[in-house]
Amino acid sequence: MSGKRGVLAAYWERQQERWEEVERKRARRLPTWRTRKRRRTLSVFVLLGDLILIAGAALFHRQPETYFVVAWFGGAAIAGLAQYLLRILTGKMSGGFSIRLDEREREWRHRVTFASYQILVALMFVSVVYGLIISGTEDGGARGAMMGCALLVTGTTFSSVILGWTLPDDDPEDFTEFDEGSLA
């Protein structure tokens, strides 16, 4: 039993080193974008893409229609790209393990996660109500599934959106440790 724990502990240590290296690389990405204004702009793009995705789900019919295809994939592309960039700019707070965060970051993350969870629950309730309303219509099950998917995707983006909107500008001194670490 002790041997297994040692192997798992060594594995965990290697994983933490790998994550720290990934974080160092991520911290060097988009240095001029690390402002509140840029994060807020990306937050708006994520929400805009989510709304387009929801509109695409509302337009869904089994026969591929241009409006649905453009709205669904366009909204997914806008929201997906903006979400990817926003996760880079919010750093380890949106995607890292809690043990790697300081107290302030951990508290902020817990608050944002709780708020986004409540929003997600409300969106899932909307999805159920929408599914019940359209259940008797043609393709009601597929339309309800598409709306459920759109609302689920929307709900999962809210933690990054809230972080992107509320985080203050990054302190440039926070990134000197990564620059100094890369010189050594």
Cβ distance 163 to 108 under 8 Å?
A: yes
Amino acid (one-letter) located at 86 = L
Q: How many CB atoms lie within 10 A of CB 65?
A: 13
pLDDT value for 147: 93
Burial status of residue 14 (CB atoms within 10 A of its CB: 0-12, 13-18, 19 or more): exposed
Q: Of residues 44 and 172, which shows the higher confidence score?
A: 44
Q: Which pLDDT value is given to residue 183?
A: 45
Structure tokens at 51: 């709304």
Give the pLDDT band (50/70/90) at residue 184.
Answer: very low
Tokens representing residue 32 in the block: 């001029």
Q: Please report the pLDDT score of residue 32 as a whole number.
A: 80
pLDDT at position 71 is 86
Angle (CA) 86 153 156, round 5°: 60
Distance, in Å, from the CA atom of 20 to the CA atom of 68, rounded to the nearest integer, reads 41
Query: How far does CA 15 lie from the centroid of its chain?
Result: 22
Q: Which phi and psi (to 5°) does residue 104 adopt?
A: -65, -45
Mean pLDDT estimate for the chain: 82
- At 1 the pLDDT is 52
With both helix axes pointing from N to C terminus, report the angle between 103-134 and 140-166 in degrees, rounded to the nearest 10: 160
Please report which confidence band the pLDDT of residue 60 belongs to, taking 50, 70 and 90 as the band edges: confident
pLDDT tens, residue by residue, 165-179: 998 876 666 555 544
Q: What is the pLDDT of residues 111-148, one digit of tens each?
A: 998 999 999 999 999 999 999 999 988 888 888 999 99
CB atoms within 10 A of CB 52: 21
Helix (H) or strand (E) holding 155: helix 140-166
Cβ neighbourhood burial of 56 (10 Å; 0-12, 13-18, 19+): buried
Q: What mean pLDDT comes out for the span 79-103?
A: 79
How many residues are there in the chain?
A: 184
pLDDT of residue 168: 82
Alpha-carbon distance values, 152 to 51, 113, 117, 118 (Å): 12, 15, 11, 12
Higher pLDDT, 100 or 87: 87
